[in-house]
Amino acid sequence: MNLALFDLDYTLLPIDSDYEWARFLIRQGVLDGEHYERENERFFTQYKQGTLDIYEFLRFQLAPLAAHPRRQLDAWHQQYMQEVISPRIAPQARELVDRHRRQGDLVALVTATNAFVTAPIARAFGIDHLIATGIEEANGEFTGKPHGTPSFREGKVERTEQWLQGLGHQMSGFGQSWFYSDSMNDLPLLERVSHPVATNPDERLAKTAEQRGWTVLRLFADAH
């Protein structure tokens, strides 16, 4: 058995699922669009520059989950999947995942986006294992705080290793391993697999992939 890991935003999806979730909430009248767009642009610039404070970002991004009952959030998310996500799951992305599944590989989605937003998306791709940023809960409701190590940058390596250990595996124990990602922020995990694949890569990752002879895969012509 081999290992296949996938990033989500701009990798399997041509959009940022976290950003689109917030835009969906803006359309529902839940968030202040002007304030959100201003703050999100600031965080996105930091993300591209590799200077993002993940905890500051998570305090901002998870706040709406603490402001509404879980039942309402689940109803909104079902609508979000129907209106936003399902139409953007491209056949070529689904086929990439399915190919690894047919080969009998151990497949996981490894994303910095929180588990509430991404768990239904993983299921839509037929991916059983999700490594995502956890959210603290109290009495079945979200507190708006992250839980555990965010799966961001080196945190993706840490969380992936913990997940594999729980299954009785370790990264070095696989004959072949793949990680598909678009972002230079994922360099720590890309460097740990035998087959790093720069997928719809940002400019910095594209240059790194060229320098190191890594495979470059472009699933979406307009991903960046």
105 given a catalytic annotation: no
- As to burial, measured by CB atoms within 10 angstroms (0-12 exposed, 13-18 middle, 19+ buried), residue 124 is middle
Cite the beta strand spans of 65-176 per DSSP E: 106-114, 129-138, 141-147
Question: What is the three-class DSSP state of 84?
Answer: helix
Q: Edge-to-edge strand order for the sheet containing 141-147?
A: 141-147, 129-138, 106-114, 3-6, 177-181, 195-199, 215-217
State the catalytic residue, choosing from 7, 18, 105, 202.
7
State the catalytic residue, choosing from 9, 182, 186, 202.
9
32 given a catalytic annotation: no
Active centre residues (catalytic): 7, 9
